[in-house]
Amino acid sequence: MTRPPTERVVEAAPAKINLALHVTGQRSDGYHLLDSLVAFADIADKVTVAAADRPSFAVTGPMADGVPVDASNLVLRAAEWFAPGVPVAITLDKHLPAAAGIGGGSSDAAATLRALARLTGRAVPAGVAVLGADVPVCMDPLAQRMEGVGEVLTRLAPLPPAHLVLVNPRVHTPTPAVFKALAQKHNSPLPPIPAFADAQALIGWLRGTRNDLQAPAIAGAPVIAAVLAALECAPLARMSGSGATCFALFDSAPPAAALAARLRRADPDWWVFDARLC
């Protein structure tokens, strides 16, 4: 479908939060099997895609430093996979820390695919997992159960209103290294996931779950333990994904905002954000 070159599409790329993450096995090819309750927060990167005579890519925003602008960036890989050789102008407005366990790159890629689909009128083809194991779950940024290597997705009932404090100590925890350091790779799956009546019910259920990658991530980056200690006043504190971002979960906004403000004063070098769970 031909579009005027001035047309542009904007898509949000929200932070992905692994509220619980159980590692249940490892395949013969080395890939780990997961069982995870995935939700999204209302802090997001923003991807803008516009028709253009020649391709271009720019990264802006408060977290732009260090983000690659070459073909290694998942945004460009997603654009080339969706429409090889089609020139588009893409701007990534970066608000999420990179390599932080909250799916920033995968969510950016998924947002790029959604934006290109809207711009061109074409459906996103099957097989987005070729771009990364977390891209499929980020295509539909709502509460989901993610199993297998990320390809088995089950849409869940909407989660109750809840509030988060997200903290990243600005260290990278390379995902392959964290998985390699995991001593026990065959663990129990998640218990049945109910429809939660309220945030307190969600928090109570989450206390019976875990993030199996938390301990090996702390072994490689001990500062994660300091972050979790700073969040221990919350009803629930846990690391997301392979780290190093941790979250504190609350049933209302005021204590989350108060904790975030306190942490910003105490540790100005940490990335701290209070958000709403989507």
Active site residues: 16, 134
The token duo for 241 is 């994904």
> Are 250 and 256 spatial neighbours (Cβ–Cβ below 8 Å)?
yes
Lookup: tokens for 82: 């969706």
Helix (H) or strand (E) run with residue 200 in it: helix 199-206
CB 92 within 8 A of CB 59: yes
Contact, 70 vs 8, CB < 8 A? no
Strand partners, 44: 14
Burial of 93 (0-12, 13-18, 19+ CB in 10 A): buried
Give the DSSP H/E element, type plus range, for residue 89.
Answer: strand 88-93
φ/ψ of 191, rounded to 5, equals -70, 165
